[in-house]
Structure 1
Amino acid sequence: MNELTTKLALVRDNMNEHGLSAVRLRGVDWFAWMTCGGSNVVILTTEAGVAEVLVTTDGAWVLTDNIEAARLEQEELPPGLQVWAHPWQDSAQREAFVAARRGSGAVASDRPSAGEVPLPERLTRARWSLLPEELERYRALGRDAAEAMTEVLLAAKPEWTGFELAGAGAEALWARGIHPTLTLVGDERRLPVHRHATASKERLGGRAMLVFCGRRHGLFANLTRFVYFRPPSAEERRLAADVARVEAAAFEVCRPGVTLGQVYSTLVQAYATAGHPGGEAFHHQGGSCGYLSRDVVARPGSTVALELYNAMAWNPSLPGSKIEDTVVVSPDGLEILTVDPRWPTVQVAGRARPDLLVR
């Protein structure tokens, strides 16, 4: 079976198990998943785009309006999905179309409304286990996002503002067909002060942090890097090494069946072992990802378990220091997706991890 056939079978199996007559997938994340990497996005910040997917026991359609139909069919959708469009000014026709095909059972949706029910948990969990075709798209995205990061930080100058660095990052991502859904910039003054250092008009100064959450084909590549325009201090080197050791401890326990709560507990202990007890309290530590920048953020006691081929991005941090990459749980261990061989690395617990770029 190809990717679309596999996913339709999975949706219908869940429909049969839960007595559903239809499933409506409206969100940007679920639309991309169901359409094998298609996009219903026009406004980047939207959660539900300009089209949805309707699946019944005997049919599957992309529902949209006449503004979007031709473009979606020609540029975003795999063979096997029919497009049905209504006049843009008459969305009631869409509801009539659904009503005529839904049958008598319940309708489930990722964003339920008007009597609809949430998606079955088993279907939600299945999305976290990436198919081979999805992994190939993810690997390509990870490489491109990492290359964009390197390109920008090799060109950055200390007199740039945070806005200019964020703009250069967005340009490098767009040039590769990646939506810049997040470009955080920490400059020298603000880095030790704010864990979520959004871009500002301040000059970068002696060092800068750049964070990407880049989306392509619905998948998210998350990564963080640091550039130095001066030699790092011994304390800055120490903090960078400490967050890398905290991350390494999380990596060590990540395998199918391990809960996010267990990983969180490991992170808490790793902070304490590194000499920073309670360090986890000042920023979330990351979690599982894929069709969202984080599907589930790890919290104390979380019972959500990692799946085989589940993507993750952990982001332990300390004042002025952070580490982050997107990885996948594979049968052979962890596969790091956001890698550019041009970026300097340091060995941490047997893995090449990003070092500080000193220019």
Structure 2
Amino acid sequence: MSELDVKLARVRDVLVKQGLGAVRLRGVDWFGWATCGGSNVVLLTTDVGVAEVLITRDDAWVLTDAIEAARLEEEEVPAGLKIWSAPWTDKAARESFVESRRAGAPVASDRPTRGEQALPAELVSLRWSLMPEELERYRTLGRDAAEAMTEVLLAAKPEWTGWELAGAGAEALWARGIHPALTLVGEERRLPVHRHATASHEKLGARAMLVFCGRRHGLFANLTRFVYFRAPTPVERLLVADVARVEAAAFQASRPGAAISDVYTAIVKAYADVGRKGAEAFHHQGGPCGYLSRDAIAGPDVPGVLQPNNAVAWNPSLPGAKIEDTVVVTDAGAEILTVDPRWPTVSIEGRLRPDLLVR
């Protein structure tokens, strides 16, 4: 069975179990999943794109308007999903079509409206467990995003502004067909002050942080790297080592079947173990990802369990230091996706992790 066939069969199994007549997948994340890497995005910042997927017990369509139908069919939608469209001015036509196809049973949606139900939790778990075809797309994306990061930070100059570094990052991602959903920059002065430093007019100075959340085929590659134009101080080196040890604890706790809250607890304990008790309060620690930059932000009361082949991106941080990569959780451990062999590394508990790029 193709990837699409497997996904449709799994959705229909849930429909039958839950007594549903159809599901409507409206979000950019769910559209990417259901179309096996297609995109309904025109405006990059939107959560809901220009089309949705309707799956019933015996059929499936992409619902859109006449503006987008031909392009989506040619470029974004796999064979096996039919295109339904109506004039963009006729909003009622789509609702009438859905009504005629739900066989009198309830409809569930990731963005429910007008009496629709929320998606069953079982469907959400299905999306978190990546299929082999999805993993291959993810591995390629991770490698390309990491190469873009290396390319930019090898070219960066101390006199660049944060805006220029973010722009160079976006250009490198776009050149690889990756949407630059996020490019954070921490310049020398702002880096130890703001954990979520958006790019500014300030010069990079002697060191800088660059963060990518890049989307392609619906999947997100999340990674953070640092460039230094001078030798790091012993204090800076210690901060880098400490966040890496906290991340190692998160990796150790990340296994299929592990509760997200338990991984968070391991992170909190690891901060205390390296003498940084309470540091988790100043920045979120990441969580499972895939078709969103984060499907959930880990916390003590956050529900959810990691699935087999679940992508995660943990990002422990301290003032002026952060670590982040996109990895896949398996029974054998963590497979790191965002890797470029050119980037300097350091061994942390037997695993190669990104070091500072000192130029």
Q: What is the aligned partner in structure 2 of residue 227 from structure 1?
A: 227
The answer as to 2:188 corresponding to 1:218 is no
Aligned to 1:139, the other structure's residue is in SS state helix
Alignment of 1:37-76 (within 5 A): 37-76=37-76
Q: What is the aligned partner in structure 1 of residue 305 from structure 2?
A: 305
Q: What is the aligned partner in structure 2 of residue 169 from structure 1?
A: 169
The answer as to 2:251 corresponding to 1:257 is no
Question: What displacement does 1:92 show?
Answer: 1.2
Question: What displacement does 1:302 show?
Answer: 3.0
Q: State TM-score, norm by structure 1.
A: 0.99
Alignment of 1:314-329 (within 5 A): 314-329=314-329
Q: What is the aligned partner in structure 1 of residue 204 from structure 2?
A: 204
Question: What displacement does 1:101 show?
Answer: 1.1
Alignment of 1:223-302 (within 5 A): 223-302=223-302
Identity of matched residues, %? 73
Question: What displacement does 1:95 show?
Answer: 0.9
Q: What is the aligned partner in structure 2 of residue 109 from structure 1?
A: 109
Q: What is the aligned partner in structure 2 of residue 156 from structure 1?
A: 156
The answer as to 2:170 corresponding to 1:191 is no
Question: What displacement does 1:97 show?
Answer: 1.1
Q: What is the aligned partner in structure 1 of residue 353 from structure 2?
A: 353
Aligned to 2:100, the other structure's residue is in SS state helix
Q: For 1:91 and 1:291, how far apart are their aligned partners in 2? A: 28
Q: What is the aligned partner in structure 1 of residue 86 from structure 2?
A: 86
Question: What displacement does 1:88 show?
Answer: 1.1
Q: What is the aligned partner in structure 1 of residue 5 from structure 2?
A: 5
Q: Supply the AA of the counterpart residue of 2:356.
A: L
Q: What is the aligned partner in structure 1 of residue 330 from structure 2?
A: 330
Q: For 1:333 and 1:260, how far apart are their aligned partners in 2? A: 16
Q: Supply the AA of the counterpart residue of 2:103.
A: G
Question: What displacement does 1:99 show?
Answer: 1.2
Q: Supply the AA of the counterpart residue of 1:312.
A: V
Listed as ranges, the gaps of 5+ residues in structure 2 are: none
Alignment of 1:28-43 (within 5 A): 28-43=28-43
- Give deviations 1:107-139, integer Å, cap 9, x for gaps: 000000001000110011110000000000000
Q: For 1:43 and 1:252, how far apart are their aligned partners in 2? A: 38
Q: RMSD between aligned alpha carbons?
A: 0.6
Q: For 1:158 and 1:114, how far apart are their aligned partners in 2? A: 54
Aligned to 2:21, the other structure's residue is in SS state strand
Equivalent residues of 1:112, 1:118 under 8 A apart:
yes
Q: Supply the AA of the counterpart residue of 2:63.
A: L
Q: For 1:263 and 1:207, how far apart are their aligned partners in 2? A: 31
Aligned to 1:134, the other structure's residue is in SS state helix
Q: For 1:26 and 1:290, how far apart are their aligned partners in 2? A: 17
Deviating above 2 A after TM superposition, structure 1's stretches of 4 or more consecutive aligned residues are none
The answer as to 2:52 corresponding to 1:20 is no
Aligned to 1:185, the other structure's residue is in SS state strand
Q: Supply the AA of the counterpart residue of 2:157.
A: K
Q: For 2:255 and 2:61, how far apart are their aligned partners in 1? A: 36
Q: For 1:279 and 1:288, how far apart are their aligned partners in 2? A: 20
Question: What displacement does 1:303 show?
Answer: 3.6
Equivalent residues of 1:145, 1:173 under 8 A apart:
yes
Aligned to 2:186, the other structure's residue is in SS state strand
Q: State TM-score, norm by structure 2.
A: 0.99
- Give deviations 1:210-235, integer Å, cap 9, x for gaps: 00000000000000000001111111
Aligned to 1:20, the other structure's residue is in SS state coil
Moved more, 127-136 or 98-107: 98-107
Moved more, 159-168 or 292-301: 292-301
Q: For 1:137 and 1:307, how far apart are their aligned partners in 2? A: 18
Q: What is the aligned partner in structure 1 of residue 180 from structure 2?
A: 180
Q: For 1:302 and 1:81, how far apart are their aligned partners in 2? A: 35
Q: For 1:79 and 1:349, how far apart are their aligned partners in 2? A: 46
Equivalent residues of 1:262, 1:301 under 8 A apart:
no
Question: What displacement does 1:294 show?
Answer: 0.4
Question: What displacement does 1:301 show?
Answer: 3.4
